[in-house]
């Protein structure tokens, strides 16, 4: 039997008109001889009656924070509500279906409430539904510990649910439905001529998510990649073909055609602070690389874009941790400069691997728009530049033009 996992985001089930569109997508999968396994997010966005953020704000309205275990209990409710409403919509259309919580679907996690890690999946209840010709409707974003406590998988966790279930039941494909037509070459809110990509490598989409593009949860991509299950990002609201995330698909023009672009996409992540620490004797015995970075690690501060020289250490942190790190460095006597309000802009593309001149072209594109580069870092398939956040829009647009990623005219 050809199994397909179809995940629908909160905006896809926000009202009856959209839930009817969801039913159409499920019916279309069945017409193509797939058996659908459906994963659903909580209805709507913050402010909507049953959205997860709305429920959280309700709990906090009494003046104290729920403990982590009870917060996960609360946050799991939104997906269950969505599942029941969608199940009733399907039943009205004549389909037999069954709602399963994450735990009932067999998703077993650790006890890290709020951001639990999936330990294993026991899909017997899902497979039992399929065997009985019952469509399983599964609450995303959640699981259960071996002791029976409900957990949630962190922001974007419904994507993880879809991938982990797809892996467990050996699905042929995983469809992620949202309110956009697919994965775009850049943030369309910044770049007006950003376009939907046809096909993308797993690791490129993983990097896009890691480098700030709000596309799909990185863990969901990692799971699909290790299982070699294609992911298809599509819109619930249109019939567009979306973006296929895979290694290779014969039915689509693959990006390694001779006319394809060198760069796949551009992503950005803001709210970074750059630290430049000089080893000039100010911190005396603390001026050792191992001591400095162990001190930072002990405070659970993650650093990125790390450049190490004998007398200078340069890196960035999330600006949330900026003041904390400043206090730590001052207490040890380090001589340093902190530059807040920075953005890390990254170009991504498997095809740049081993290609000379890509960094030069990126620097040229930013220079043409008079944008100063504070720092760079690179890997085989990414190059990042740190800039002042006030230049983010200009930088992303400049690079989008420079690498010719815009819509064809």
Instruction: Output the pLDDT for position 347.
Output: 96
Going from the C-alpha of 239 to that of each of 23, 56, 250, 264, the distances in angstroms are 14, 34, 21, 24
Position 260 scores a pLDDT of 59
Share of the chain above pLDDT 90, in %: 73
Cβ atoms of 51 and 13 within 8 Å: the answer is: no
Q: Is the pLDDT of residue 408 over 70?
A: no
Q: Which residues contact 50 (CB under 8 A, 6 or more apart)?
A: 42, 43, 44, 77, 78, 81, 82
pLDDT of residue 250: 47
CB 130 within 8 A of CB 35: yes
* Coil vs helix vs strand at 371: coil
| pLDDT number for residue 261 | 73
- Residue 338 in this model has a pLDDT that exceeds 70: yes
CA angle 225/226/228 to nearest 5° reads 60
Task: Check if the beta carbon of residue 231 is closer than 8 Å to that of residue 220.
Answer: yes
Do 105 and 126 contact (CB within 8 A), yes or no? Answer: yes
Burial degree of 107 (CB within 10 A; 0-12, 13-18, 19+): buried
Of 36-40, 55-59, 66-70, the range with the highest mean pLDDT is: 36-40
Mean pLDDT of the chain: 91
As a whole number, mean pLDDT of residues 166-182 equals 94
The β-bridge partners of 292 are: none
pLDDT of residue 10: 86
Q: pTM for the full model?
A: 0.83
Cβ–Cβ < 8 Å for 39, 223: no
The torsion of the CA quartet 347, 349, 351, 352, rounded to 10 degrees, works out to: 30
Round to whole Å and give the CA distance between 150 and 103.
7
Please give the pLDDT value at position 248. 57
Rounded Cα–Cα distance for residues 23 and 119 (Å) = 31
- The structure tokens 């006597």 sit at 333
Is pLDDT of 298 > 80? yes
pLDDT at 407: 67
Starting at the edge strand found earlier in the chain, the sheet holding 304-308 runs: 304-308, 312-318, 265-278, 335-348, 382-388, 375-378
What is the model's pLDDT at position 257? 42
For residue 252, what pLDDT is reported?
A: 45
Domains along the sequence of the chain with CATH? 3-179 (3.40.1160.10), 265-402 (3.30.2130.10)
344 forms bridges with which residues in the sheet?
269, 386
Determine what percent of the chain is predicted with pLDDT higher than 70: 95
Give the confidence band of 126 by pLDDT, cuts at 50, 70, 90.
very high
Question: Tokens 């993983």 map to which residue?
Answer: 206
**Three-state secondary structure along 266-313?**
EEEEEEEEEEEEECCCCCHHHCCHHHHHHHHHHCCCCCEEEEECCCEE
Per-residue DSSP letter, 11: G
pLDDT beyond 80 at 224: yes
Once rounded to an integer, what is the mean pLDDT over residues 213-239? 89
Residues 238-257: tens digit of each pLDDT: 888 999 998 754 444 444 44
pLDDT at position 52 is 78
The answer for 146, left when phi > 0, alpha when psi is -120 to 50, beta otherwise, is alpha
Q: Is the pLDDT of residue 117 over 60?
A: yes
């Amino acid at each position: 039997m050809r199994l397909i996992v179809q995940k629908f985001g909160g905006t896809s089930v926000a009202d009856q008109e959209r839930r009817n569109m969801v039913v159409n997508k499920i019916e279309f999968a069945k017409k193509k001889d797939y058996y659908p396994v459906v994963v659903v997010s909580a209805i709507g966005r913050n402010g909507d009656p049953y959205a997860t953020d709305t429920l959280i704000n309700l709990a906090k309205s009494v003046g104290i924070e729920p403990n982590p275990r009870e917060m996960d209990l609360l946050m799991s409710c939104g997906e269950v509500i969505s599942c029941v409403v969608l199940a009733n919509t399907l039943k009205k259309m004549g389909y037999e279906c069954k709602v399963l919580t994450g735990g009932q679907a067999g998703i077993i996690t650790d006890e890290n409430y709020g951001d639990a890690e999936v330990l294993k999946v026991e899909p017997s209840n899902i497979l039992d539904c399929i065997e009985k010709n019952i469509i399983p409707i599964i609450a995303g974003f959640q699981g259960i510990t071996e002791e029976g406590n409900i957990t949630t998988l962190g922001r974007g966790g419904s994507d993880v649910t879809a991938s982990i279930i797809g892996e467990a039941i050996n699905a042929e494909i995983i469809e992620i439905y949202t309110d956009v037509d697919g994965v775009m070459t850049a943030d369309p809110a910044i770049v007006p001529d950003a376009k939907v990509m046809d096909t993308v490598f797993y690791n490129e989409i993983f990097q896009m998510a890691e480098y700030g593009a709000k596309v799909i949860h990185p863990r969901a991509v990692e799971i699909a990649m290790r299982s070699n299950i294609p992911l298809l990002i599509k819109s619930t609201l249109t019939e567009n073909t979306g973006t296929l995330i895979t290694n290779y698909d014969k039915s689509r023009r693959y990006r390694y055609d001779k006319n394809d672009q060198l760069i796949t996409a551009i992503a950005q992540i803001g709210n970074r602070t750059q630290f430049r620490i000089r080893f000039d004797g100010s911190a005396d015995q603390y001026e050792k690389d191992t001591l400095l970075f162990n001190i930072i690690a002990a405070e659970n501060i993650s650093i990125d874009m790390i450049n190490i020289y004998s007398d200078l250490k340069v890196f960035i942190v999330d600006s949330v941790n900026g003041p904390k790190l400043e206090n730590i460095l001052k207490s040890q006597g380090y001589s340093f400069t902190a530059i807040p309000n920075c953005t890390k802009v990254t170009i991504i593309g498997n095809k740049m691997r081993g290609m000379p001149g890509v960094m030069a072209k990126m620097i040229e594109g930013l220079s043409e728009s008079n944008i100063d580069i504070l720092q760079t870092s690179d890997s085989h398939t990414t190059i990042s530049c740190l800039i002042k956040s006030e230049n983010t829009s200009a930088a992303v647009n400049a690079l989008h033009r420079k690498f010719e990623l815009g819509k064809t005219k």
